[in-house]
Structure 1
Amino acid sequence: MTRIRLGNTWLCLSAATLTAAFVLSPPSLATLLSGHGPYDEAQLTDRVRAAFVRYWDNRSRTLTPELSDLSDYWRWFHLVKTAMAVALLVVLAVWAVRLSRRYVHAAPNMAAWPVAAAGTVVSALAVVAYVAVVANIQSIVAPTASLMSMLPVGTAGGDLAAMAGQVRDELTHYSGASPAPLRMMVNDLARYHVVVAVIGWSSAVALTIVAIVSVRARARRPRHDLRRRRLSGAVAIASGVLAVAVVVLAAANTSAALDSPRAVLDFYRGTF
C-alpha cells in the first residue's frame, strides 16, 4: 500500500510540474531557442499586427524579416508546449492504467469508488492533454496561420482595417493569380487544418477499435467479475463518445482545409 501511495504521489508531482512548465516555460525557452523575443501577450499582438500589414504591403510570397522572426519564435513556442503536453499525456496515461489495475485488483471488502473517481478525473485530464498536443502541433506545422489568428480583425482600425478590406475583396475572386501574400495565407491555413484532420481521423479509427475491443472484452467476462466488466464498459462508452467528438472535429477541419479561401474569408469577416 505504501508503495502504491508513493507511486501515485510521484505521478501527481510529475503531472503538476509538467502542467506548470506547460504554462510558464514556453516564452523563455522559445526565446532561448529561436533568438527572438521575449514577448508578452500585448507586445506579441502588436508585433503580429504590424508584421502582417507590412507583409501584405510588400506583395511578396516570401515572409518579411519581421514576420519570419515571429513565425520562428512561434514555432519554437509551440514545440516547447508540445513536448510538455506529450510528457504530461504519458504521465497521465500511466497513472490512469495504474488506477484501473488497482480498481480491478482491490480486495472485495474495499470501497472501490474513490479509485474509480480518481481514474475518471485522471483520464479526463489525459483527454485535455491530448487536445493540447494536437492544438500545438497545428502551430508547429503552420506557425504563420496560427499567428494570423491573433489579428484583432473584429476591432481593426487604421492599416489593419485597410488590409482586412483588401483581403476580403481579393478573396471574392481568389485564383492562382491572387496576390502572393494571400496565396500564402490560404495555403498555410489549409496546412493548419489538414494537421487536425489527419490526426482526428486517425484518432477516430483508433478510438473505434478500442471501443469494439472493450465491448468484446466485457462480453467475455463472467457476470461475477463486476469490476472488470464495469471497467471495460466504461472504456467502451468513453471511447465511443470521444470517437464521435473527434469525427465532428476532423470533419470540420477537413471542410476548412478543402475550402481554405472561404476559411480565410470567414476569418477576415470576423465569423471564423
Structure 2
Amino acid sequence: MRASLIQLSVNSSDSAEDRRDRAASLVRGRAGDDLVVLPELWTAGAWAYDRWEHDAEGLDGPTAEVMSAAAREAGVWLHAGSIVERDTNGTLYNSALLFDRAGVLRGHYRKIHRYGFDTGEATLMGGGRDIVTVSTDFGVIGLAICYDLRFPELFRGLLDAGAELIVVPAAWPAARLGHWQLLTRTRALEEQVFLLACDAVGTHGGMQQAGHSTVVDAWGTVLGEAGTAEEVVTADLDVAHVARIRSELPVLRDRVLGIEAPMGRHSN
C-alpha cells in the first residue's frame, strides 16, 4: 500500500475556507494512493484558541463535506486530521475523521488526552473516552492525536484492539521537535506497528509548528520524514511486515499484565 502525509502550512492569516480548498486540492492530487493523512486541527489552528468557537462544526459540517468529496474523487482512504467538533450539547472536542474510498465516514475519534494543563485544550474541550480502530482493505488502523503520543497505555490499547497501523495527526511545536522524533519511533517500535504521524508547519496562535511528519515501520525505522515546509511525504508499506516482525521478535508475547507495586515496601 502507498501512504502519503500532507504536511500543511497553517498560518494565522489563513481562513478555514482557504485551508479546506487547499487541502482538498492536495488530496485530489494523491489519486492512486491508498491512504492520505492531514494534520491536527488544520482548519481552525491548534493553537488559535480564540477561533475554536467560531470554527467549530459537526461531523456533517463543511470540513467533513469537503473531505468526503475529496476522498471519493481521489479514491483514497482519507484521514482528514482533526476538527473542532461541536456536539449536540455544545461541548467542543478535538475529533479525528477517517473516510473510506467512497467518502463514507468510517472512523471518528475524540482525543482522549487534552494538552494545556490548566489552559487551552485542557479547559476548552471535552475529552474522549473510547479507543478507536477501523478495518480497511489494507489493514487495521488505530487512531490517536498529537499529545496522545506521550501516553503509551493508549497505544497498547490500540494494539490490543488489533491495530497494525496507527495514524497520529498533530500540531507539534518546533520547540519540542526532539520529543516528537523520539516518541514517534518509540511508539512504533514498542507496539510493532507502522506509525504515520502528520504534523503541521507554519505559525498560528503564536506557536511555530515543528513539521517533520514521519512514517516509521514496526522495527522503528524511519521510512520517510519531511522538513519544515509544506510538503508531502509518501511511503510504500507492506502491512505483512507487521506480522513478520512480531513473529521474528515476539516481545509482545512476553507481556506480563496486572503487576502492582506492594504497598508500604521500598527497596534501596
The alignment's TM-score, normalised by the length of structure 1, stands at: 0.22
The structure having more radius of gyration, on CA atoms, is 1
The alignment's TM-score, normalised by the length of structure 2, stands at: 0.23
Normalized per residue, the structure richer in strand is 2
Normalized per residue, the structure richer in helix is 1
